Structure 1
Amino acid sequence: MRVFPIGAITLTVTVGDYPQQITKEVTFLVVDCSSAYNAILGRPTLNSWKAVTSTYHLMIKFPTDYGVGELRGNQVVARECYIAMLEMDDQQQTMCIEEQRTVAEPVEELEEIILDNLRPERTTRVDTLASWSMCQELTTFLRDNQDVFAWSHKDMPGIDPTIMVHKLNVSSTFSPIRQKKRVFAQERDKVIAEEVRKLLEADFIREVYYLDWLANVVMVKKANGKWRTCVDFTDLNKACPKNNYPLPRIDTLVDSTARHQLLSFIDAFPGYN
């Protein structure tokens, strides 16, 4: 069953026998569920202790200032806890603890408007709290400038290289890497082929030969159940040194016009952020 935490508490935990012992602050998630265990230590805590565990010996060893500390379990007590867990009526074999997320609701209702009567699927939303005349002016403005909306890959033409061009700053000390070909299931193969077809038709990509660098695609499941096609640029990122001249901090811009222009640029080109 899925359990949401009701809070968190930080406690001082001391493990081991004196003088081979350590004392650390540990933050526990508090959940309301039936369990034979008072607390469960996770990997972050064990890693912070630099601990080595052995489930067979029911023992944890960790380094201290006075040698190696030990934390021993009891075979009889462990067996009793395991049987008690199985006998609980409402106990499930798998328990997933997730952090409860609060979804922000819009402060006002939005009205959906059609931008093109010949293509009713092209819609957007406007604020309903504005005056009727303001809504009319905004609707007219959006319909007159609907070309700024991108409904498909073809509606997002590339930028003229004479205006802006992006090049990879690959270090000459790195040798080209060709990742091993990955095999995908039939469903993912169809999604990849469809995405590549769209990009080819929109002239976003082109077929090349004699590749120096080769990166595999990665399929990521969206919240709506569809697939998102990404590219594994791990090797290429390692070969590209970081930009020594990043964008200035937003709070250092005094001119409101320049601040607005920079924010618009960041929104338009999130990949440069």
Structure 2
Amino acid sequence: MHRVLVDNGSSADILYYPAFQQIGIARERLVPTNAPLAGFGGTRVYPLGVVTLSVTVGDYPQQVTKDVAFLVVDCSSAYNAILGRPTLNAWKAVTSTYHLMVKFPTESKVGELHENQVAAQECYIAVMEMDDHLQAMSIEEQRTVAEPVEGQKKRVFALERN
């Protein structure tokens, strides 16, 4: 799958509904959930449910396969999915924005994912042009722990297998 945002700031793994449909998964496989997600603009997005999929990352023999519990959301996005901390931690992955790559241990040395700069630029432009900005990133907490700091920017990049 292409157009996957690797976001070590996200507390959730998200699959957007159009990608869910394209994969051909029966909607009956969705497990109901009532945990709302907080979007960039503070809007709440309620997932359609949770689906667990087996995800393989890397190229043989430097690859890893794990089950990932995705929150499926029906909102617009330039991405097909977001991989957040739950999956990155399960993969024991290390991200490097400087090197634009992700590394993870495998049974056969270290696996790598490299950024596709063209896809990253296309996704960034598409996100900036979207009217609703409903990019869901984290599970909403019942209380506010910290307020965002003004002026902070986040680099967005997409990864694909080489």
TM-score, normalized by the shorter chain, greater than 0.5: yes
Q: Which amino acid aligns with 2:79?
A: Y
Q: Is the counterpart of residue 68 in structure 1 residue 126 in structure 2?
A: no
Q: Which amino acid aligns with 1:13?
A: V
Gaps in structure 1 of 5+ consecutive residues: 100-219, 222-273
Contact (CA 8 Å) 2:56, 2:63: kept in 1 or not? yes
What's the CA shift string for 1:129-166, capped at 9, x where partnerless?
xxxxxxxxxxxxxxxxxxxxxxxxxxxxxxxxxxxxxx
Contact (CA 8 Å) 2:75, 2:134: kept in 1 or not? no
Q: Is the counterpart of residue 55 in structure 1 residue 97 in structure 2?
A: yes
Q: Is the counterpart of residue 11 in structure 1 residue 53 in structure 2?
A: yes
By how many angstroms is 1:97 displaced? 4.5
By how many angstroms is 1:56 displaced? 2.7
| Residues 111-126 of structure 1 aligned to structure 2 (within 5 Å) | none
What's the CA shift string for 1:81-115, capped at 9, x where partnerless?
0110010111157765449xxxxxxxxxxxxxxxx
Contact (CA 8 Å) 1:4, 1:98: kept in 2 or not? no
Q: Residue in 1 aligned with 2:70?
A: 28
Structure having the higher helix fraction is: 1
Q: Residue in 2 aligned with 1:46?
A: 88
Q: Is the counterpart of residue 90 in structure 1 residue 132 in structure 2?
A: yes
TM-score if structure 2 supplies the norm length? 0.57
Contact (CA 8 Å) 2:77, 2:134: kept in 1 or not? no
Q: Give the Cα–Cα distance (whole angstroms) in 2 for the partners of residues 95 and 40 of structure 1.
A: 8
Which secondary structure state, in structure 2, belongs to the residue aligned with residue 26 of structure 1? strand
Bigger radius of gyration among the two: 1
Q: Which amino acid aligns with 2:89?
A: N
Q: Give the Cα–Cα distance (whole angstroms) in 2 for the partners of residues 95 and 51 of structure 1.
A: 19
Contact (CA 8 Å) 2:76, 2:135: kept in 1 or not? no
Q: Which amino acid aligns with 1:82?
A: Y
Q: Which amino acid aligns with 2:116?
A: N
Q: Give the Cα–Cα distance (whole angstroms) in 2 for the partners of residues 24 and 53 of structure 1.
A: 18
What's the CA shift string for 1:216-273, capped at 9, x where partnerless?
xxxx98xxxxxxxxxxxxxxxxxxxxxxxxxxxxxxxxxxxxxxxxxxxxxxxxxxxx
User: How many residue pairs were aligned?
Assistant: 102
TM-score if structure 1 supplies the norm length? 0.35
Q: 1:96 to 1:14 in 2, by over 3 A?
A: closer
By how many angstroms is 1:39 displaced? 0.5
The alignment yields a C-alpha RMSD, in angstroms, of 2.4
Which secondary structure state, in structure 2, belongs to the residue aligned with residue 79 of structure 1? helix
